[in-house]
Amino acid sequence: AQSVTQPDIHITVSEGASLELRCNYSYGATPYLFWYVQSPGQGLQLLLKYFSGDTLVQGIKGFEAEFKRSQSSFNLRKPSVHWSDAAEYFCAVGPSGGGATNKLIFGTGTLLAVQP
Amino acid sequence: NAGVTQTPKFQVLKTGQSMTLQCAQDMNHNSMYWYRQDPGMGLRLIYYSASEGTTDKGEVPNGYNVSRLNKREFSLRLESAAPSQTSVYFCASNPTGRETQYFGPGTRLLVL
């Protein structure tokens, strides 16, 4: 069955520290991969996406993610966290094949807290 | 350019009441989606619409109906609300299936 796993429900880091949020997926073929961020009371905003090509993708707000096919992972990283990064982060996968719609499967999210 | 808008922002219903959640996008997108978000479960797809005039079930369609009124609007209807439908509902859209989905701000629904 297709699924996305975010093993860390909650992470706390100090401001200025590095960050890595984990995402593992189970999918029949090479999927499209996304990271979204949700600030409290807000909708989801796309941080970055991987469709093909270079497996290290850069996103907004200084985030990057690396697609590792052998590990079925798409971990999100940031070298230095800012207090404004406190939010919930969602990994999602979608079909890379044809079709008119992209039925995304979301992970359960990782809530990031940033200590001063 | 407002993107994806949803109304209402917040609603309280009693069990058995009906209501319609409205979603509109002004980006000329073909595909639209309804998700629900519950604590510890991420977002789950309720229904989607590949294009005007078509709708299909997602992962959790029971208890819901949808209407793709035109290219801009995609509504979600609860005919007889149940406490299990207490959730935050998000509408999303994208140009076609393989592209980034853009999300609305959400509707918080409480069913008593």
What is the tens place of the pLDDT at every residue in A45-70?
A: 999 999 888 899 999 999 999 999 99
Helix/strand/coil percent split, chain A, to 5:
10, 50, 40
Residue B1 has a pLDDT of 66
Q: Which residues of B touch A104 (CB under 8 A)?
A: 43, 45, 101
Please check whether residue B104 touches A, CB under 8 A.
yes
Lowest mean pLDDT segment, chosen from A89-93, B64-68, B86-90, B92-96: B92-96
CA dist B56 and A61 (Å) reads 35
Q: Which residues of A touch B98 (CB under 8 A)?
A: 32, 51, 94-96, 99, 102
Please check whether residue B56 touches A, CB under 8 A.
yes
Q: In what order do the strands lie in the sheet with B4-7?
A: B4-7, B19-25, B74-78, B65-68
Q: How far is B103 from chain A (nearest CA, A)?
A: 6
Give chain B's mean pLDDT. Answer: 93
The verdict on a CB contact (< 8 Å) between B45 and A99 is no
CA dist B50 and A101 (Å) reads 5
At a CB cut-off of 8 Å and minimum separation 6, what does A84 contact?
none
Q: How many CB pairs under 8 A join A and B?
A: 66
Residue A58 has a pLDDT of 96
CA dist B67 and B54 (Å) reads 9
Q: Is the pLDDT of residue B16 over 60?
A: yes
If pLDDT is split at 50, 70 and 90, which confidence band does A101 have? low
